[in-house]
Amino acid sequence: MQVTRIQTPLTLALLCTFLVSGGAEAQTPPGTRAVIEIGNPDFRPYPIATADVRDANSPNSVPAQAMTKAMRYDFEISPVFKLLDPKSYLANQAKEGMTAASIKFSDWLSVGAEGLVKGTIEQSGGEMKVDLRLFDVASGREQLKKSYKGPATEDEARTIGHRFANEVVFFLTGTKGVFTTRVAAVKKTKTGRELWTISVDGASRSQVTKNGSINLLPAWSRNGKSLLFTSYIKHNPNLYSVPLGGGALKLISGERGLNTGGSMSPDGRKVALTLSRDGNSEIYVMNADGSGLQRLTNEWAIDSSPSWSPDGKRIAFVSARWGDPHIFVMNSDGSGVRRITERGNYNQTPDWSPRGDLIAFTARDERNKFDIFTVNPDTKEIKRLTQDQGDNEEPSFSPDGNHIVFTSKRNKKSQVFIMATDGTHQTQLTADGGFSTPAWSPYLD
Amino acid sequence: MSPRVSLIRPLLLAAALLAACASTQTADLELSAAEKALADAYAAKASDCAKATYQAAESKLREAKKLIAEENVEGARAAAQEAERLAQQARGESPPGCDEKEEEDPNKDASATDDASARLGLEGLEHTVYFDYNQATIREDSKGLLSKYAKILKDSPSIKLEIEGHCDSRGSTEYNLHLGERRARAVEKYLLTQGVKPDQIDIISYGEERPVDFDETEEAHQRNRRAELKKSS
Amino acid sequence: MGIEDTVNTSLAKERPRKRSGNRGFWLTAILSLLVHAGIGAAALYAQPKRQTIDLNRAIPVQLVKLGKKRDPKLLPRIYEPPPPPKDEGVALAKEEKSQPTPKDERKKSKDELSDAAKRMLDSDRRLDEALRRVTPDDPEGDPSGSEFGTTTDTTNAAAGYVAEIGRALQSNYRLPEAIPASQRKFLKARVLLYIEPNGKIREFAFVEEHPNQLFMSALDSLLKTVQLPAPPAAEAKRFQNDGVEVVFRP
């Protein structure tokens, strides 16, 4: 990178030894022009403008507003984009059409947009037809066009907005957007704890359990159709699975003592969990139907909270075997145990990124504050994502690995927040409080 | 606080010390035998009924430990054996029911042997013991109470207890479930070492899900780090 | 005679690890200084004998950024915390309005205090602020300094100018985050810049393009907007006619 070559004769040479942080390099063969190398680009979010979606019948109908809001929210929370402030838009949106030819791109260029999203709705008989497009502002070309149909409701409009935002992300980055995924979380009730799922924009929620007991630690099945969780419904804290479309609970593990932290392997065939049936908290693996139980750890201290690596070959977990709880990694057969966190003294709740390169966890720092960190399981490098904003706990990665959901007590009550994996774009999803152990779903469509 | 409670503390502390150096000394056998004899004597109310002998046994045991600290293994052995002998003697001097006339402490009802009065005893007892942060070890100030429970359970084998482990709100849900269970299990183990039968005790952990104090203050956290002993039907 | 500075290359490889500001950082800093001194010495030695050293010429030297060492057993801290979250997410239920925030309470109670008490509180606050300013949270040093320390060799006017172009382009070399991670390491483009005597880019021409449009349009807008200084008069013709070649790479 920082190679400096000195060519002779020096009177002709262009000597360059600057070591600016990016690192540029210059070399000049004798008598020719200088060559400068510029590397280490500073990756910046893609500036995108999102025009108001227009409803042919009434320009700012409820579905049109919901759709605009949904897409703007998605670009706002995404670290890949910088949503340009709609108040700054210069274009005459009422006049401008949907085709590249009818758009005055210079108006969008001058507000700094590189991408432009536009959309129209046509309602008839309670149904709507939606046309959404992405333009490249610099070249004035249409890049993406999608049509949708559905009932002309606010909910449907929001969903369509999120689906198109997913398409935009996929078009630009090659990775599917996560805006139609959901977060499962536990919410306190008067009598116990119930499971809910919440959309990524916080706008829609649905209650999963209503049994009045204590229901804890939801984890998604790999197909996104059911949740694994621990419930006291039969007094002993057993592991159950509940279908999200409604249906009966299925007992997965009913060993005496705790049956917690159920976590499905990436191929969906196995479940890792923590049991205390042998008199101590240890990690076990079994088949997804509960058969073939196999013990992985054997320590006097607590071992808990297993989380699979995306290739299914390793499992991250918490162990207090060296005194304080720390994040450890082992092979999925229990061999090769390795401590990963060498800083801090109270590290818990590992969640392995779907990209494989990071494990997010909760740690208590020297000021006794809980915050979210990531650690690279190979280099053990630790990065801090939250700080100075109350206690922040229980991280869980989005299926693209770009976001993390967590709970924060920064506004007293424990709320669900999401953020980008670098700690930016922190956004609150709930306002009523009492939430814990959020878990981000896999892709649901 | 009853005199018994204050007496048993140094003993149990001593037991803990003993365990700590068990691997380095050879007077272990003698010491643990003396320890056990003393505990038996205590259980037989020798500390009240045969006070002088009991206290002599105690002081011999202390001497034994002191000698160990001074690395005088031979002396420690002899002292421990003497402590054991005295403890057995004290126990012999304490026939069942020897302390029945003492009525001023309502907790003493627990000494009655029939289930009805045992129940009364349980209900009269404090049912919570507390723990230190991130710890699941029985604190010295809990041992007196747990010994009373042990006595009642031994006297009334039909009584069953469920021990609930709880944590404060700090730390993760799952880790706290397991920490809570360790607390419940620590209480269970303590009762079992006092001679309670395993089938009389069940444990369950609620982690941080059932706090008694919803504040986030240090005091509230302490009140929530607990095990509750509940009579199960 | 060609000198390839391999020491510097190995330093570059170690850089990422050194960012944590540990002992190795100092090693790097010291080695870096030594190497630069060596290069400078080599350059001076190789100059034609008749050239004299102008003692009045300023040699710009940037400060080395200093930082207090943090106990490596402690968890890291963020020195520039991310901005606080936006208040409004989509469709957030409204918070109960009746709850006074703690800040309001403090203000109210302060209004009821006597003047003397207010003065005391104010001086407390000032002390707090003063203390906060010197809390060891922030690394110390020159904020404009390079993390590694730099010197700029200006023994040759053209070399200095090329370095300036390099700096100007480097500090504006921003690419969209939307470029997928899988493609980032293959990005490469070469472009010729022809620079007018006033520093304006008269013309640029890509001699090697990359198929990624996000990358190419980012370079396009960079070269259209970047401000370059004027070249040294003696060299102006060269930069206008021969131009310089810039290689953009990951």
Q: Is the pLDDT of residue B110 over 60?
A: no
* Domain endpoint, select from B92, B117, B141: B92
Contact state of C8 with A4 under an 8 Å Cβ cutoff = yes
Which residues, numbered 206 to 265 in chain A, qualify as contacts with chain B under a Cβ-Cβ cut-off of 8 Å?
A: 214, 216-217, 230, 232, 235-237, 257-258, 260-261
Give the pLDDT confidence score for residue B3 in this predicted structure: 44
Give the residue among A207, A233, A238 at the shortest CA–CA distance from B177: A238
Q: How far is A435 from chain B (nearest CA, A)?
A: 11
Confidence of residue B104 (pLDDT cuts 50, 70, 90): very low
- Domains belonging to chain C, first-starting first, are 1-72+131-155 (no CATH), 156-250 (3.30.1150.10)
pLDDT at C28: 76
pLDDT at A316: 98
> Can you give the pLDDT at residue B61?
80
Instruction: Identify from B137, B164, B168, B177 which residue to disrupt to test chain A contact, counting A C-beta atoms within 10 A and taking the largest count.
Output: B177
Question: Chain B closest CA to A175's CA: distance in Å?
Answer: 32
Task: Note the pLDDT tens digit of each residue in B171-193.
Answer: 999 999 999 999 999 999 999 99
- Higher pLDDT among residues C69 and C194, named by residue: C194
Is the minimum CB–CB distance between A347 and chain B shorter than 8 Å? no
Q: What is the pLDDT of residue C66?
A: 58
Q: Do C89 and A43 touch (CB under 8 A)?
A: no
The secondary structure of residue A132, as a DSSP letter, is E
Tell me the nearest-neighbour CA distance from A52 into chain B, angstroms: 43
Higher pLDDT, B19 or A354: A354
Element spanning B203, H or E = strand B201-207
User: In chain B, what residues touch A261 (CB-CB under 8 Å)?
Assistant: 174
Residues in contact with A214: Cβ distance below 8 Å, sequence separation at least 6, in sequence order:
A192, A193, A231, A232, A237, B206, B209, B210
Contact: B172, A193; criterion CB under 8 Å:
no
**Residues B147, B54: one domain?**
no
Query: Is residue B128 assigned to a domain?
Result: yes
Q: Which of A217, A276, A281 sits opposite B173 (nearest CB)?
A: A217
Closest CA–CA distance from residue A432 to any residue of chain C (Å) = 8
Strands of C49-158 (E only): list them: 61-62, 150-151
Whole-number pLDDT of residue C58? 53
Report d(CA C156, CA C163) in Å as an integer: 11
Looking at the fold, whether B121 and B199 belong to one and the same domain comes out as: yes
Instruction: Express as a percent the part of chain C with pLDDT over 90.
Output: 12
B23 in any annotated domain: yes
Find which of A214, A228, A277, A281 to mutate to test the B interface (most B CBs within 10 Å of its CB).
A281
In a domain, B162, yes or no: yes
Task: Answer yes or no: do B76 and B117 share one domain.
Answer: no
- CB contacts < 8 A, A to B, total 73
Beta-carbon contacts of C142 under 8 Å, excluding residues fewer than 6 positions away, are C62, C63, C65
Beta bridge partners of A120: A54, A131
In a domain, B100, yes or no: no
Residue B102: per-residue pLDDT: 38
Residue B137: list chain A partners with CB under 8 A.
none
Fold of A46-173: Rossmann fold (3.40.50)
Please state the rounded mean pLDDT for residues C99-110.
42
Same domain, residue pair B77 and B131 = no
Tell me: do B34 and B74 sit in the same domain. yes
Q: Read off the pLDDT of residues C138-157 as tens digits, 9 standing for 90 and up.
A: 444 444 444 433 444 444 67
Per-residue model confidence as pLDDT tens digits over A149-185: 999 999 999 999 999 999 999 988 888 999 999 999 9
Q: Is A273 on the interface with B (CB under 8 A)?
A: no
Which residues in chain B are contacts of A364 at CB distance < 8 A?
A: 170-171
pLDDT band at B64 (very low <50, low <70, confident <90, very high): confident
Q: Examine the fold and report which residue of B34, B61, B92 is the final residue of a domain before the chain moves on.
A: B92
CATH number for the domain harbouring residue B178 = 3.30.1330.60
When the candidates are 3.30.465.10, 3.40.80.10, 2.120.10.30, 3.30.70.1400, the CATH number that belongs to A182-440 is 2.120.10.30
Domain shared by B43 and B115, yes or no = no
pLDDT value for A64 = 96
Task: Kindly state whether residues B77 and B113 are assigned to the same domain.
Answer: no
> Which of these, A178, A165, A184, A262, lies nearest to A440 by C-alpha position?
A184
Is the pLDDT score of C219 beyond 50?
yes
pLDDT for the residue B91 = 76
Contact A71, A79 (CB under 8 A): no
Rg (CA), chain A: 26
Instruction: For residue B65, tell me if it sits in a domain.
Output: yes
Q: Over the stretch B208-222, which tens digit does the pLDDT of each residue have?
A: 999 999 888 999 999
In chain C, which residues have their Cβ closer than 8 Å to the Cβ of A36? 162, 165-166, 169, 244-247
Task: List the domain range (segments joined by +) for residue B126.
Answer: 106-232
Say how many domains are in chain B: 2
A376 and C CB contact within 8 Å: no
Q: Calculate how close chain C gets to A290, using CA atoms only, in Å.
A: 38
Chain A: residue whose CA lies nearest to C180: A173
Q: Are residues B77 and B156 in the same domain?
A: no
Chain C residue numbers touching A73 (CB-CB < 8 A) = 89-90
Would you say the ipTM is above 0.90? no
CB C62 within 8 A of CB C149: yes
Terminal CA-CA length for chain C? 30
Q: Rounded to an integer, what distance in angstroms lies between the CA atom of residue C123 and that of residue A99?
A: 63
Predicted pLDDT at C51: 45
Q: Of B30, B65, B92, which closes a domain?
A: B92
pLDDT per residue as tens digits for the range B152-177: 999 999 999 999 999 999 999 999 99
pLDDT in tens, chain A (445 residues): 333 333 323 323 333 333 333 344 444 444 567 889 898 888 888 899 999 999 998 888 999 999 999 999 999 999 889 999 999 999 888 888 889 999 999 899 889 898 999 999 999 999 999 999 999 887 888 989 999 999 999 999 999 999 999 999 998 888 899 999 999 999 999 889 999 999 999 999 999 999 999 999 999 999 999 999 999 999 999 999 999 988 999 999 999 999 999 999 999 999 999 999 999 999 999 999 899 999 999 999 999 999 999 999 999 999 999 889 999 999 999 999 999 999 999 999 999 999 999 999 999 999 999 999 999 999 999 999 999 999 999 999 999 999 999 999 998 899 999 999 999 999 999 999 999 999 999 999 8
Looking at the fold, whether B86 and B110 belong to one and the same domain comes out as no
Please indicate, yes or no, whether residues B65 and B132 belong to a single structural domain of this protein. no
Between strands A347-352 and A282-287, the pairing is: unpaired
Best interface-test mutation with A: which of C177, C190, C215, C216 has the largest number of A CBs within 10 A?
C177
A347-401 per-position pLDDT tens digit: 999 999 999 999 999 999 999 999 999 999 999 999 999 999 999 999 999 999 9
Same domain, B82 and B171: no
| Residue B108 confidence (pLDDT) above 60 | no
**A67 CB near a chain C CB, below 8 Å?**
no
Q: What is the pLDDT of residue A20?
A: 34
**Extents of the domains making up chain A:** 1-42, 46-173, 182-440
Nearest beta carbon to residue B172 from set A257, A281, A394: A394
Give residues with Cβ within 8 angstroms of A377, minimum separation 6. A309, A314, A316, A329, A340, A352, A357, A358, A359
**B170 and B133 in a common domain:** yes
